[in-house]
Structure formats: structure tokens, C-alpha cells
Amino acid sequence: MFHTVLCDLLGIRHPIIQGAMQGAGGPRLVAAVSEAGGLGVLPTFGGSEKELRDDIELTRTLTTRPFAVNITPIGRAFTESRAAICIEMGVPIVTTGRGDPGSNVVRKLKEAGTIVLPVVPSVHHALRVEAEGADAIIASGMEAGGHVGRVSTMPLVPQVVDAVKVPVVAAGGLGDARGFMAALALGACGIQLGTRFMATVESECADWMKQRLLESDETGTMISSLMTGKPVRAFATRILREYEAALGHADSAEERAELRARYLKELRSAPVEDRTMAAGEVAGMIRDIRTVREIIEGIIEEAAVLAGKLYRMSREEGARTTDSATPGRTGAMKN
């Protein structure tokens, strides 16, 4: 029922991609997602070239199914070096972060036969990466964890779908079958999940991170520029709130730089209760720790049930409309 063009493009069973997550999504999680029929994705942000090579090799010992590497475009040298490793090691699929990898990098990946799926926060960005040669686009709303744009998932996805000719994947604020079905209704051919996969048996999240997820509510995350200098959605903490409040009163670039340096130092040495990590608004929906397979298969099975309910509802509504629109029908039944 849910075999889409994304499944054919990536060689996967279910149209579900795991968002790349530094500190949570290592080879064990990536392999588990791919083994369960989705697409696992290794992160590169914060890691060395050697670590990336080691992660690729280890993942290949854990699964024979397709997996991807995510390249966060944080500078030309970083982006090109990680792309070169992916080409050298024959990684079949690459996703890119919310920055533009650039036509040169995309061209080299495409020439090597690599499938490229950029993550974008806007229609303008989607059109640019499509022109560069993207095979599909992941439209990620501001509900997502990590680097975010300014548009929410619900209005972003259909606008990207309408603007581009390549397949579109929805991301941001999705964590269960309801989100999956909503994404398909918006015109997407699949979904990307990040935060939900943090709360799994296979994730590398520290215990305090998993506990924070279980205790979070709909206001448990916030957007802050403290971690990277760009807007990042993460667990809301005292340090992040104080930094953003102080930033609003800074009058110069020098003062803003001093504030960031001071609060970054405090964040790095903070006790557990004041630590943070990228997480999406869907954290407020997470109430248990499951295996990756349970999450993926649960989404597909529950989506099938939802589809059946929607179909029955439409048939019942159609029948009621027909009955009320047929002249003399009630009288005829009485006779």
C-alpha cells in the first residue's frame, strides 16, 4: 500500500528515512533502520575523515541494505572532502544538510553514480538544489531538530511539491503513522524521522537524553543560535533561554560574540540538567523507548489502519450524501 517512488529510487522497502544525528545516529542505529526497511543515514558533522571512513566500514558489517551519508555544508573544504570519501568508498546515497552543497559537489557525486537528496527549508532552496541535479528533495519544516528555517512543515511541503519536478520527502514534526499519512496527503512520497529514532534501543543517545525525551512536552524545545551560530532547535534549557534573552539586548557584533563565547563555555561544562541536544517538537509525543523495527513497522501497520478508516468514512459520507440528494427516497422506503 505504501510503496512509493522513493522506495524505487533508494532501493528500500518502506518510504522512511532516518535523519542524520550527531551523537545519536551511529552505525548501530543506521544499520537497524536499513535492516527494518528504511534508509539509515550516517552523520558527518562534528566527525573527522577517519571517523567517517570507520563508520562506513562498520555499518557495512552490520547491514547489506542501502544506507546513506549526510554531508552538512559547513564550508567548501569540509563538504568536498566528505563527498570525496563517499565517492571513494562507494556510498550509494548522500543527503545534505540545510545549507547548499554547491553545484560542483552535487555534480561530482552524480558523476560517480551517487543519489543525492538535499534537505531544504524553503521553496527557493528547493529550486536551487533541483537545478543542481538533486534526485529528490527533503523539505524540512521548522518543527525539526537541528538547523531549521522559518517555515513550518504543513505549508512548506505542498509548496515544494508544487514547485519542483523531483520527488519530495517531508520532515519536521513527524513521529508516527498520523504524521506519515499527513505527509502523503500533502504530496510527499515519504518521510524523514530524526527525534523519534533518538528514543530507540539502538540509538547512541546518553541515558539523560532519552530520559529528557520521555519527560518533554510540546514546549520542551526551542530555537537558539548558541550551538553553531545558526538557528538550531534543541532541548530548551536555562542556559539557552538566558543566552537568547541576553542576545536581544546586545547592541553590537562584538557584544554578541562575547555573549556567545561566555554561554558556550558555560554550556560545555554544565551539569546534566542544563545540557542540551538537537531535538524536534515531536519530542512531546514520545513516551517510550522502542526498537527501530517496532517504530518503522508500527508506522506502516498503523497507517494502513488509518487509511482503512478514512476510506470507510468517505464511503459512509458518500452514502449519506447520496441518500439526502435522492428525491423521494425516504418516502419510497416507507412504501
Average pLDDT by stretches of 10, the chain with 335 residues: 95 98 93 98 93 97 98 89 97 89 89 96 95 96 95 98 98 97 98 97 94 95 94 96 96 96 96 93 96 98 95 79 58 37
Confidence at residue 323, expressed as pLDDT on a 0 to 100 scale: 66
Q: What are the grid coordinates assigned to 37, written together? A: 526497511
| Cβ–Cβ under 8 Å, residues 224 and 243 | yes
Q: What are the grid coordinates assigned to 264, written together? A: 558556550
Could you tell me which residues come within 8 angstroms of residue 309 by beta carbon, excluding any fewer than 6 positions away? Answer: none
pLDDT in tens, 69-82: 999 888 889 999 99
Check the CA dihedral 231-233-239-242 and report its sign.
positive
5-207 belongs to CATH 3.30.360.10 = no
Give bridge partners of residue 232 from the DSSP assignment.
147, 224
Confidence at residue 333, expressed as pLDDT on a 0 to 100 scale: 37
3-state SS assignment for residue 183: helix
| DSSP category for residue 235 | E
User: What's the whole-model pTM score?
Assistant: 0.91
Confidence at residue 75, expressed as pLDDT on a 0 to 100 scale: 85
pLDDT in tens, 194-204: 999 999 999 99
The strands making up 93-96's β-sheet, listed across from edge to edge, are 16-18, 191-193, 168-171, 137-140, 115-120, 93-96, 67-71, 40-42
Q: What are the grid coordinates assigned to 155, written together? A: 505549508
Confidence at residue 324, expressed as pLDDT on a 0 to 100 scale: 65
Every domain of the chain and the residues it spans: 5-207
Check the CA dihedral 174-180-181-185 and report its sign.
positive
Q: β-pairing, 93-96 with 67-71?
A: parallel
Confidence at residue 135, expressed as pLDDT on a 0 to 100 scale: 97
Amino acid at 316: E
Q: Where are the beta strands (DSSP E) in 294-335?
A: none
Question: Which residue, 21, 22, 324, 68, is CA-closest to 194?
Answer: 21
- Residue-wise DSSP of 121-180: SSHHHHHHHHHHT-SSEEEE-TTSSEE--SS-HHHHHHHHHHH-SS-EEEESS--SHHHH
* Ramachandran category for residue 320: left, alpha or beta (phi over 0 → left; psi -120 to 50 → alpha): alpha
d(CA 280, CA 140): 11
Half-sphere exposure of 193 (CA within 13 A, CB side): 29
In the chain, helix, strand, coil percent, each to 5?
50, 15, 35
Q: What are the grid coordinates assigned to 61, written together? A: 558489517
d(CA 63, CA 60): 5
